[in-house]
Chain A
Amino acid sequence: MKRSALTQKLLVLGVDGMDPRITRKFLAEGKMPNLQKFIERGSAREDLRLLGAIPTITPPCWTTLATGAYPGTHGITCYWRQSPESLDAVVYNMDSRNCTAEQIWNITAEAGLKTLVWHWPGSSWPPTSHSENLSVVDGTQPGSVNMGVAQLDWEKVIVASPEIKEVRYAPRVDKPAGVGCIITDLEDSLDADVDDEMMELWWGDTARQGGEIRTFVMDDEDTEVVIGSKVAYDIVNSPLKDATGWANAPEGAKEFTILTSGGVMRRPALILKNEAGEYDRVAIYKNKKAEAPIVTLERDKMVSGIIDDVTKKEVTKPACRSMKILELDPVGNKVRLWISNALDIANDQLWHPKTLFSEIVENVGVVPPVSLIGGEDAELVGEIFEPSWVQYNQWQADCMNYCINKKGYEVVFSHLHNIDCAGHQLWHLGKTLSPWDHTDEVTYQGFIEKFYIQTDDYLGEFMHLLDEGWTVLVLSDHGLIVGENVPPIIGEYGGLNTKVMEELGYTVMKKDENGNSIREVDWEKTRAVQIRSNYIYINLKGRDEHGIVDPKDKYDLEEQIISDLYNYRDDRTGKRVIGICLRNKDAVLIGANGPECGDIFFSVEEGYNRLHGDSISTSEGYFETSVSPIFVAAGNGIKPGFTTDRTIRQVDVAPSVSVLLGLRYPAQCEGAPIYQIFSEDV
């Protein structure tokens, strides 16, 4: 089969979590001028929607975009997949070797097009083609490049004042919003089990080697919106006093101490006066004997690319950090400073070929860390979390433009995580519900807007390509909603959801001496479990290790569970919270069937669903949000200024890339080209 290409160069600008419904709100308000230009010069539906695959979870949807196949076909059916050993555990799934459908980038590379796959969190790593035309950067987690493997140290807030008498360090403190970063009782603030290894556990080497993750979602406190919006970082308190013993301290400077690397690394710092006699800068040194500082920070400016040694597990390596002054008293009686997590600047294990890593570092810069703190602390969101993404976006845009302009890449598949990352921390605060009524929804709606504006700036970095013969597809995996209600404890993607299933009598947890459920399943009494975003497994004899349900009773039990779920009512509102329920064989209707989709597929009903993942993709939320993904195409081969009524499905993207580049379709593709938007009949 031969087809002529409609374009020679194609860029997919993937933005995780970008929602067409709220995008249209910001477009109408004139806040996204770059996307407006892409729309005017290209094709999209009036509502900008793409019909998302099910489940509306990141790795399945990105894999669908890459393969043109539904999750039931490509086999990536949630963030994690079921552990082959036990029904209550999951194992890592951002591994291309678990994908049973062909990726479009293998076709483009093998057809001779120089192809870059940049941080695509669905079946991109490790590379699955030996073609020398294929380059792949990370894609093993959704966060940011190298986030899963290069973290050496956590984020910190340092507070120094003359009243503090000695240096104190408290690792990974969950700080209630509005409370200052002063350590009053160290013993109380220390979490006995400081989880420094979360990145490794979820996305790092341990996860990639198949380590089981066993998480129980039992009540509201276990949900990701509650956990994600808690602000946890290291706190350092230090005296602030006249500088003594320095080789080169400017007149009037005052000193304080910063601790890094789990407390073992110490950096002395100075606050410095300007000509008017006001303190307005912070200089951080390796030690007091150093002639020059590692960095000098000015007010209101986040500085990235700060290279300093960091020690982790007794090994010391140079790492990249960002820093910003949060507060500096002009008369020198207080300073608050944020320093980012630290990324190993030499970690190239997720870059293929490795030479691309060194070229990027040399020509664009080291990978900047992004902040993961903010949540309910509006100051940190505004001052740190959001600006850290602006810096990262710019670095990523510079990397991709470098690859396009200087390295001759002709096809680029890219992913940016800014909106989804913010969504998981903040979007639920966009409506003031009772558990978080100490926050203000208008403030958080403002943050949502800021993340869309920074996304528009990022898209603008690629506008020039439309004049250089490129085709650009702007798309996402799913949107995120601001919840109308606090979601029920069912459908949380991160683990085993027990509460609703316990109430219905299908899951039984072991009890402590007071009769309270503990985090251990009583398999002798458990007939079914709900795990990951949308799946229910019968505890089946002969299939599952502790199976108690006879296979001949399975069909009737499924029917009973489906009836009970439909009849289940939210205890706060008395309304139905379950959307659709389908047996595995019937879930082929939505492409969520097959061995990785449980015995029953279910969704959470609109109005009760969380951010994304548990609902169907057409669900809408508060503040003009939706779970739907977005799709806009522009450039060579695309009709300019064109609006289509065609329902564009996520499975249609990969075959459309095939048509645009004149190549064959991916082997397991189930979608069809969006021929209505092409500039020529095909």
Chain B
Amino acid sequence: MSLQQLNSTRFEEIIYDNCEPCLVIFSKKECHVCKEVVPMLEELKPQYDGKFGFYYVDVEEDKELFQRFSLKGVPQILFFNNGEYQGKLAGKVEEESVEEKISEVLGV
């Protein structure tokens, strides 16, 4: 299931106004590692339907968001809950690490 893209306005709404527990992967079309990590997240997404959101930001389209979080390089997966930043995972990450981090964020 493909990830929903966020621009800066949608980012504000989803992360901060709705305070949704979710992850956002910051990625780039031409990035090889992103091409591995994004499908992994797409595969994982259905398991968390209704409990945890999965989104992506294209850093070339939304540079401000990338800079705002002082990120260096892609891919980076940022986690949020209740409008609060909950940490990030960088680079080529395994499915287990993402699941672990989601459990931590959800407090289960």
Contacts and interface: CB of A to CB of B under 8 A. Distances in A.
A288 B84 contact: no
B45 to A, nearest CB: 23
A263 B87 contact: no
Contact of B67 (A190, A309, A311, A314): A190
Nearest to B87: A314
A170 B64 CA distance: 9
Contact of B83 (A171, A263, A287): A287
Interface in A234-259: 244-245, 257, 259
Contact of A166 (B9, B82, B85): B9
A169 B67 CA distance: 7
Given A262-B70, A287-B82, A257 B12 contact: yes
Given A186-B63, A288-B83, A311-B85, A263 B8 contact: no
Contact of A266 (B9, B16, B64, B88): B16
A287 B19 CA distance: 8
Interface in B78-97: 78, 82-85, 87-88
A166 B87 CA distance: 23
7 contacts: A166-B8, A170-B67, A268-B83, A287-B82, A287-B84, A309-B84, A314-B87
Interface string A406-445: 0000000000000000000000000000000000000000
Interface in B1-20: 8-9, 12-13, 15-19
Contact of A289 (B13, B19, B68): B19
Contacts of A311: 85
B64 A168 contact: yes
A166 B68 CA distance: 11
A179 interface: no
Interface in B52-89: 63-64, 67-70, 78, 82-85, 87-88
B19 A288 contact: yes
Given A264-B69, A311-B85, 4 more contacts: A167-B64, A263-B69, A265-B85, A268-B16
Interface string A157-174: 000000000111111000
A144 B31 CA distance: 46
B83 A264 contact: no
Interface residues of B, number: 22
A244 B12 CA distance: 12
Interface string B12-36: 1101111100000000000000000
Contacts of B17: 244-245, 288
A259 B15 CA distance: 13
B1 to A, nearest CB: 27
Nearest to A190: B67
Interface of A: 166-171, 186, 190, 194, 244-245, 257, 259, 261-266, 268, 286-289, 309, 311, 314
B68 A263 contact: yes
A259 B16 CA distance: 12
Contact of B88 (A261, A288, A309, A314): A314
B104 to A, nearest CB: 12
A245 B14 CA distance: 11
Contacts of A194: 70
Given A257-B12, A266-B16, A289-B19, A186 B64 contact: yes
A318 to B, nearest CB: 13
Nearest to A169: B68
B105 to A, nearest CB: 13
Contacts of B82: 287, 289
A171 B19 contact: no
Contacts of A286: 83
A247 to B, nearest CB: 10
Determine which residue in B63, B67, B88 has the highest number of CB atoms from chain A within 10 A of its CB, and name it: B67
A266 B15 CA distance: 10
B84 A259 contact: no
Nearest to A168: B64
B70 A171 contact: yes
Contacts of B68: 167-169, 259, 263
B9 A263 contact: no
A309 B13 CA distance: 21
Nearest to B63: A186
A132 to B, nearest CB: 43
A186 B67 contact: yes
A167 B70 CA distance: 14
A170 B17 CA distance: 23
Contacts of B12: 167, 257
Given A166-B9, A263-B69, A288 B85 contact: no
B84 A265 contact: yes
B57 to A, nearest CB: 13
Nearest to B9: A166
B29 to A, nearest CB: 20
Contact of B16 (A168, A186, A263, A287): A287
Nearest to A257: B12
Nearest to B15: A266
Contacts of B84: 265, 287, 309
A153 B12 CA distance: 22
Given A168-B64, A287-B82, A314-B88, A263 B19 contact: no
A39 B17 CA distance: 60
Determine which residue in B18, B68, B70 has the highest number of CB atoms from chain A within 10 A of its CB, and name it: B68
Nearest to B16: A266
Nearest to A288: B17
Contacts of A263: 67-70
A288 B83 CA distance: 9
